[in-house]
Amino acid sequence: MEREVGIVGGGIIGLSLARELCKRGISSTVYEAKRHVGEGAERASGILSKAGLDRAGIDYESSIVNELYGAVFHAGNHVFRIRAREAKAYVVDRAKLAETCAKRAAESGAEIRLGERLGKEEIRRLAESHKVLVGADGAISTTASTFGFPHIRKRVLTYKAVYKGAAVEDRYTVGLYFDNSVTRGFFGWTVPYSESLMEVAVGIEDKGKTNSKASFDRFTSKEGIRRVIGGGKEAMRGASLIPLETREKTAKDNVLLVGDAAGQVKAATGGGIIFGVGCAKTAADVIFRHINSGLDLEAYEAAWRKRYGTDLALHKMLHGYYSRVGQSGLGMAFAFMKAVNAEKLLSMYGDMDYPTVTLKNILLRSSGPND
Ligand SMILES: Cc1cc2nc3c(=O)[nH]c(=O)nc-3n(C[C@H](O)[C@H](O)[C@H](O)COP(=O)(O)OP(=O)(O)OC[C@H]3O[C@@H](n4cnc5c(N)ncnc54)[C@H](O)[C@@H]3O)c2cc1C
């Protein structure tokens, strides 16, 4: 018997949606192009806030690689540090996380079909044969183009490598590097996995002839980054893509988009898992009410924007700000923020996912700069 919901894409978001649907008694099939769940996932990073993981209800314990206490931001000679008293985030193994999501979805009753890259015709047929079709097929979504959803124009091209035997000075702190000559419109980053294993990556805004590998090579030739890598040997490298804006429309007839396919990504950081999983839950709620009481599926659009729209918009503003002012403007902003004790305030009250929570915490809980 045909299942009720077809899901194109078995990344973390599509698999989480399948599980959420099962919990609500709705059957689904996930169609995934890759032969193995999590294949290629190592091209992305896995920095996820503890609070976000717990709120999202993701089963992550077996995927933890490292704990993170803070970040150091570099803009020219200016350095801005955030360091909490306890670990605020994890580095997770992205492939393992995807495998766990697949296991949980399958245990709940979802069907997962691997090695099935769907073309436009197949996707159209699935929309006809299922009550609902969901595109969870990533930033370059065939589902979105099949049904003429608006384009995502702003995106970042990334390039990442992992080094074994690196000279990791502080295994609990991420480095973020804003450098106009290398990481235009985004930033470079270093993520420690252990005392000797280090991820190094860059993102660069896609302006047509952008080449993220060339940016990466320039980034890793900088003195500061060479020092971080030390004598480390490259264990993997690869390019990928991050959407930096939400699609103007994500629901049409019986088709919904979720995760990167919808652009539900924090533009300031490039993180898409916490909000993507949250939006998958919203999609599952709306689909449940659509199937059981006839709710219009377009309710999904307003529902996810109500929950995440303000924070996504604030992330977009933040990204717009640091892209516009560049390295020197950001250096001045860091100097000013240090002067008003923002390092301490953000260390105490910052929330990696929700700028609204950070602002609320700072306004309500701190009574002055010397708290
Ligand atoms: C370099 C980099 C670093 C990142 N760092 C972080 C981070 O630290 N924290 C964070 O939260 N997020 C991070 N992200 C973003 C995060 O990776 C994405 O937001 C997340 O993977 C989105 O999940 P998804 O399931 O929507 O899409 P995807 O992970 O892209 O999965 C889509 C799936 O659909 C499949 N598919 C595509 N087309 C078809 C088709 N036609 N038929 C069948 N299957 C298809 C693909 O094979 C894929 O498995 C990073 C991304 C990059 C590139």
pLDDT in tens, 306-342: 999 999 999 999 999 999 998 999 999 999 999 999 9
Ligand 1 within 6 A of CB of 280: no
Residue bearing the CA closest to ligand 1, atom 1:
44
Name which residue sits closest to atom 27 of ligand 1, judged by CA: 138
CA–CA separation, 69 and 137 (whole Å)? 32
C-alpha distance from residue 198 to each of 74, 157, 229, 260, 295 (Å): 18, 20, 7, 26, 48
Ligand 1 in reach of 278 Cβ (< 6 A): no
3-state DSSP assignment of residue 199: strand
Residue 90, strand partner residues:
48, 67
Ligand 1 atom closest to the CA of 47, numbered from 1: 8
Test site for ligand 1: of 260, 277, 311, 312, most ligand atoms within 8 A of the Cβ: 260
pLDDT of residue 273: 97
Q: Which atom of ligand 1 is nearest to the CA of 203?
A: 1
Residue 199 CB less than 6 A away from ligand 1 = no
Helix (H) or strand (E) holding 90: strand 89-92
Which amino acid makes up residue 353? Answer: D
**For the CA atoms of the chain, what is the radius of gyration?**
21
Q: Are strands 233-243 and 155-164 parallel, antiparallel or unpaired?
A: antiparallel
Q: What is the pLDDT of residue 365?
A: 74
Is residue 270 within 8 Å of 156, Cβ to Cβ?
yes
Kindly report the number of other CB atoms within 10 A of residue 311's CB atom.
18
Q: How far apart are CA 169 and CA 246, in angstroms?
A: 37
- Is the distance from CB of 172 to CB of 65 less than 8 angstroms? no
Tokens of 65: 């690689």
Is the beta carbon of 97 within 6 A of some atom in ligand 1? no
Q: What's the confidence (pLDDT) of residue 13?
A: 98
- CA–centroid distance, 293 to ligand 1, in Å, is 32
Q: Is 276 in the pocket of ligand 1 (CB under 6 A)?
A: yes
Distance from Cα 145 to the centre of ligand 1, integer Å: 17
240 lines ligand 1 (CB under 6 A): yes
Distance 206 CA to ligand 1 centre (A): 17
CB 135: neighbour CB atoms within 10 A?
A: 30
Give the domains, in start order, of the chain with CATH numbers. 5-67+89-153+247-313 (3.50.50.60), 155-243 (3.30.9.10)
pTM over 0.75, yes/no: yes
Q: Which position has the token pair 């996810």?
A: 304
**CA within 13 Å, CB half, 204:** 24
- Kindly give the number of the ligand 1 atom that is closest to the alpha carbon of 242: 53
User: Which protein residue's CA is at the shortest distance from atom 19 of ligand 1?
Assistant: 272
pLDDT averages per 10-residue partition of the chain, 371 residues: 90 98 97 97 96 92 97 94 96 97 97 98 97 97 98 96 94 94 93 96 88 94 91 94 97 98 97 97 98 97 98 96 92 94 92 93 68 46
Nearest in space to 275 (alpha carbons), one of 294, 291, 262: 262
CA dist., res. 103 & res. 109, Å (int): 10
Amino acid at 327: Q
Residue in 190, 182, 298 with CA at minimum distance from that of residue 249: 298
